[in-house]
Amino acid sequence: MILWPVLAASAMIVSVTSPAARATEPPTATESAAASTAESATKPTTDSASATQSTAELATESVAATPELSPVSPAVTANPVPPAPIAVAAGPTAPTPTANPVNGPIAAGPAQPSPQPSTGAIAQGEPAPSPATEEPAAPEQTPTEARVLVAEVVVAGAEATLQEEVYKVIRTRPGQTATRSQLQEDINRIFATGLFANVRAVPDDTPLGVRVTFEVTPNPVLQAVRIEGSTVLPATEIDRIFSPLYGSTLNLNKLQESIKQLTQWYQSNGYVLAQVVGSPRVGRDGNVTLEVAEGQIEDINITFLNDEGKPTNEDGTTVTGRTRDFIVFREMDTKPGAVFNRDQIQKDLRRVFGLGIFEDVQLTLNPGTDPRKVDVSVNLQEKNTAVLGTEVGFSSTSGIFGSVSFQEQNLGGNNQKLGAEVQLSERGLGFDLSFTDPWIAGDPNRTSYTVNLYKRRSISLIFDGGEREVELDNGDLPRVDRTGGRVVFSRPLSSTWSGSLGAEFQHVRIVDRDGDLSPEDEDGNQLAFNEDGKDDIFTLQLALTNDRRNDRVTPTQGSFFRVGLDQAIPITGIFFTRLRANYSRYFPVEFTKFTAGPETIAVNLQAGGVFGDLPPYEAFPLGGTNSVRGFDEGEVGSGRYFFQSSVEYRFPLLKVTEQIPVGGVLFLDFATDLGSGEDVPGQPAVVREKPGWGVGYGVGLRARTPFGPIRLDYGWNSEGGNRLHFGIGERF
C-alpha cells in the first residue's frame, strides 16, 4: 500500500532548497530513518510508474482554466462608505477527513469531483469522499488526521521572485510532518498574497517521504486600469491612483487599496453615492476593468409639506404649494442626469432656503427605476409670506399719523416681492412702494431688478446729536424731505460674486416740521448744497459683492465683502463720487460651551469717502445702533471720510424652544471721521461739538424668532455714557 495518508487541507510545504539541489544532497538522518521505515512497510499494489501516471492524470483534471479571472481569485469590492477590507475568497476549508491512505493533488479553484474513490483527489471547497472498501472497519476510529513526513517542497509555475513570496507565507517545511488541512491552510495563505490566480498542491511519494509541489498560476503583469461608468472622474486621478502598480504582477491586495483611494476621491469631492460595483475583470493582457456606479440623478421632484411636515393632509389629500416648481428648479445647479454631489446639493438647498419663502427645506433620496440611479425629492414647507399692518401714533417728525403697510414675498407663486406703505399725517403724505423680481423670466444670467418710488421725511442724523443742540430759527430741528425713484439690476457673476447697476433720482428739500423750506440753521450754517434749500441729485450706482458666508442670516463662518460706487451726474448741478467698502469675517471657535451651538468671532471693517461736491446731509453719520454702540445715533460725528470697525464674540446661551435659540454677545466698536468733520459744508459735526471718534463696548442678547433675528445690546462709550440698543438682524 502507499505510505502517506490523504492530505485534504490547503497547506503547502515549501522547501527553501530548490528541487535540483535537494536531489544531489545526501539524505539526512531523519530521511534515512524514513527510508528504512518505507522499505520495511508493505509494498504498494501498483508499480512506481503507474502510481506516478495516476497522480499526473488527477492533477491535470483538477486544474481550473479561467480565461479572465480565476473564480477563486479574491473578490475585490468597494462601497460608498469606507470600503471593507479585501475579502480573499479562496473557497471554504475542506472538512477534516478520517485517515485514508490515498494519494492525490489538492487544487484551488472550482470544486472537482473525485475521478475515482481510490485516488482520493479532493478539490478545494469539497469534502473528501470515503473510498469504497470491502474490508471491515477498524475497531476504533480516531478524529486526528494522519500525518506524513514531508521530504521536499517545490513551487512550480512562477519565477524566483514570486516563489520567494510563496515560501514566505507557507508553514509546511521539509523534514516535518503535515496533514491535508495544513496544506489547505497554506493554499489559502498563498491566495491571500493577492498575486496568484490559481493554486494547487500535488503530493508525490518519494523514497524519503512525500514531495509536495505547489503549482501556481501568477496573475498577469498589470498594464492598465480602465474605469467603466465614470463621467466625473478625471483621467489624471486614475493615473495617480493606479500607475504605481503598472509593470508589476497584479497584486489584488494592492489593487484593493487603490480602489479605496478611488472611493475616497469620490467621497472627498462630494460624490457620496459613488461606488465600485462587482469584482475587477482581469484580462490575460494585464488590463483590469473596474465598473463604477457614480449615483446619477434620474429625476428631481418637488414635494410640499404641511405645518406638521407631512406630504398629505388629514383627509389624505396631497399638500399643494403656492410656489411654482420652476422657481425652485432654477435655483438649483443640480439637474437630472448629473451625478449626485453632496456639496453642490447643499449649496442648492441654501439658495432655495434663501428665497425667504420657505419655513423648511429638506432632501430625500429614493431609488430610481434604474437601481444604479437615484431620484431626488426636494421637500418644501412654505411659510406665510403676506403681511398686512396698520399703525396709528404720534412722532416728532410727522405729528399725529396713520399708516397702512403690505408686504408680499411670493407674489403669484413667482417669488416676486411687493411692498407698499402709505402714511398720512397732519404734516403731509408719505409713501414707499417697491417691486422686486429676483429673476427676470427667460434670462439665463439670473438677472433681477428692483423698482422703488418714495416720498420720505426724517430728522437727519447729520443734524442731530452732539454736546450742543443747533436748531432752526423757529426752534425746530431740520428735516430732510426726499422724493424720488430708483431702479437697480443685479446678477450673479460666479458662485460667490455678484454685481449690481442702478440709477436714482432724488429731489431733496430741507424743511421744518410744517414742511417749510429751511436752508440754514440758527447760526446761519448751510444745510443744503444749494442756497435755497432744494437739491436735485441724479446718481449712477455700481456695486460688487462677494459672499462666502455659510448662512446669510446668522453666519458662523466665511466672509462677506461689498464695495459700492455712487457717481452723481452733474446734469442737476451736483457732481460727486462716493465710495464705500464693507468687509466681514467669521471665525468658528470653542470657548465657553454654555450649551450646544456654534461659537463665533465676527470682525467687521468699513470705510468710505466722498470726493467732489457734498451736500451736508450726504456725509457719513457715526455712532449708534449700527455704528458705535453706547452712543446715541449720530453722536460720534459726521464726516466726508470715515473708518469703522467692530469685533463680536457670539455664543449660545439657551433655547426657549427648539425654534427660538437665545445667544449672547460681547462686542467692541470703534469709529472715526479721520478728521474730516471740518470738510463737510456747514460743518454740522463741528458746530454740534461731536468728538469725531469713539469707542463702545458691551454685552448683548440674540434671539432667532419666527419673525426674524432680534438683537438687544447694552453698551458703554469712551465719553462715559451708555445706551440700550434694539435692532432686527445681526449687527453685521
**Residue with more model confidence, 613 or 138:** 613
With a CB cutoff of 8 Å and minimum separation 6, the contacts of 498 are 490, 491, 492, 544, 545, 547
Q: Determine the distance from the C-alpha atom of residue 449 to the mean position of all C-alpha atoms in its chain, rounded to a whole number.
A: 32
What does the pLDDT read at residue 608?
98
**Which of 596, 579, 582, 509 has the alpha carbon at shortest distance from 547?**
582
Backbone angles phi, psi at 58, to 5 degrees: -65, -40
Amino acid at 613: D
User: 123 near 9, Cβ under 8 Å?
Assistant: no
Confidence of residue 9 (pLDDT cuts 50, 70, 90): very low
Q: Please tell me the least confidently modeled range out of 40-54, 135-149, 264-278, 412-426.
A: 40-54
Residue 44's alpha-carbon distances to 3, 319, 498, in angstroms, are 8, 87, 93
Q: What is the rounded average pLDDT of the residues 685-707?
A: 94
Angle, helices 180-192 vs 160-169, to 10°: value is: 120
| Residues 192-229: tens digit of each pLDDT | 999 999 999 999 999 999 999 999 999 999 999 999 99
What does the pLDDT read at residue 47?
32
What does the pLDDT read at residue 29?
33
d(CA 527, CA 519): 5
Q: Determine the distance from the C-alpha atom of residue 272 to the mean position of all C-alpha atoms in its chain, rounded to a whole number.
A: 9
Percent of the chain residues past pLDDT 70, beyond the cut:
80
Average pLDDT, the chain: 82
Q: Where does 42-84 show beta strands of DSSP type E?
A: none
Residue 484's alpha-carbon distances to 202, 434, 481, 627, in angstroms, are 100, 12, 10, 27
| Residues 377-405: tens digit of each pLDDT | 999 999 999 999 998 887 766 668 899 99
Tell me the β-bridge partners of 19: none
What does the pLDDT read at residue 40?
32
Which strands make up the sheet holding 196-206, listed edge to edge?
122-123, 106-107, 196-206, 209-218, 148-156, 177-178
d(CA 199, CA 16): 19
- Phi-psi category of 261—alpha, beta or left, where left has phi over 0 and alpha has psi -120 to 50? alpha
Residue 103 has pLDDT above 60, yes or no: no
Residue 89 has pLDDT above 70, yes or no: no
d(CA 598, CA 149): 71
Q: Where are the alpha helices (DSSP H) in 452-566?
A: none
Residue 128 has pLDDT above 80, yes or no: no
d(CA 586, CA 217): 61
d(CA 546, CA 499): 9
What does the pLDDT read at residue 572?
86
Diameter over CA atoms, the chain = 140
Confidence of residue 552 (pLDDT cuts 50, 70, 90): confident
Q: What 3-state class would DSSP assign to 20?
A: helix
**Which of 598, 584, 675 has the alpha carbon at shortest distance from 637?**
675
d(CA 691, CA 675): 10
Tell me the β-bridge partners of 68: none
Residue 44 has pLDDT above 70, yes or no: no
How many Cβ atoms from other residues are within 10 Å of residue 567's Cβ?
15
Tell me 312's DSSP state: B
Cell 458666508: give the residue.
549
How many Cβ atoms from other residues are within 10 Å of residue 172's Cβ?
24
Q: What is the rounded average pLDDT of the residues 511-522?
A: 93
| Residues 158-178: tens digit of each pLDDT | 999 999 999 999 999 999 999
Residue 507's alpha-carbon distances to 397, 483, 529, 533, 573, in angstroms, are 19, 5, 12, 11, 13
d(CA 603, CA 645): 8
User: 650 near 600, Cβ under 8 Å?
Assistant: yes
Q: What is the rounded average pLDDT of the residues 657-679?
A: 94
Q: What is the rounded average pLDDT of the residues 534-559?
A: 95
d(CA 323, CA 385): 11
What does the pLDDT read at residue 355?
92
**Which of 457, 453, 455, 415 has the alpha carbon at shortest distance from 434?**
453
User: 296 near 338, Cβ under 8 Å?
Assistant: yes
Q: Would you state the cell numbers that stand for residue 525, as one nine-digit string?
A: 450754517
Which strands make up the sheet holding 287-293, listed edge to edge?
224-228, 287-293, 275-282
d(CA 710, CA 705): 7
What does the pLDDT read at residue 15?
30
Which strands make up the sheet holding 358-367, listed edge to edge?
296-304, 373-382, 358-367
Q: What 3-state class would DSSP assign to 667?
A: strand
What does the pLDDT read at residue 155?
97
Q: Please tell me the least confidently modeled range out of 27-36, 168-177, 530-539, 587-596.
A: 27-36
d(CA 515, CA 537): 20
| Residues 273-314: tens digit of each pLDDT | 999 999 999 999 999 999 999 999 999 999 999 999 899 999
Cell 401714533: give the residue.
393
Q: What 3-state class would DSSP assign to 671?
A: strand
Q: What is the rounded average pLDDT of the residues 175-198?
A: 95
Residue 545's alpha-carbon distances to 447, 542, 638, in angstroms, are 15, 10, 26
What does the pLDDT read at residue 516?
93
How many Cβ atoms from other residues are within 10 Å of residue 284's Cβ?
10
Q: Would you state the cell numbers that stand for residue 272, as one nine-digit string?
A: 457620496
User: 656 near 710, Cβ under 8 Å?
Assistant: no
Q: Exposure string (b/e) for 3-18, b if CB count within 10 Å is 16 or more?
A: bbbbbbbbbbbbbeee
- Ordered by where they begin, the domains of the chain are 19-127+144-218 (3.10.20.310), 224-293 (3.10.20.310), 296-382 (3.10.20.310), 439-728 (2.40.160.50)
Backbone angles phi, psi at 165, to 5 degrees: -65, -35
Q: What 3-state class would DSSP assign to 40?
A: helix
Q: What 3-state class would DSSP assign to 445?
A: coil
d(CA 501, CA 443): 16
Cα angle vertex 89, ends 84, 91, to 5°? 150
Residue 568 has pLDDT above 60, yes or no: yes
> Which range is most confident: 175-184, 649-658, 667-676, 706-715?
667-676
Residue 418 has pLDDT above 50, yes or no: yes
Strand (E) or helix (H) holding 107: strand 106-107
| Residues 310-362: tens digit of each pLDDT | 999 999 999 999 999 999 999 999 999 999 999 999 999 999 998 999 999 99
Cell 482581469: give the residue.
282
User: 622 near 630, Cβ under 8 Å?
Assistant: no
What does the pLDDT read at residue 468?
92
**Which of 383, 391, 393, 376 has the alpha carbon at shortest distance from 421?**
391
Cell 469631492: give the residue.
269
Instruction: Give 352: exposed, middle or buried? Use CB within 10 Å, 0-12, 13-18, 19+.
Output: buried
Confidence of residue 261 (pLDDT cuts 50, 70, 90): very high
How many residues make up the chain in this entry?
Answer: 732
Q: What is the rounded average pLDDT of the residues 680-695?
A: 96
What does the pLDDT read at residue 448?
96
What does the pLDDT read at residue 489?
98
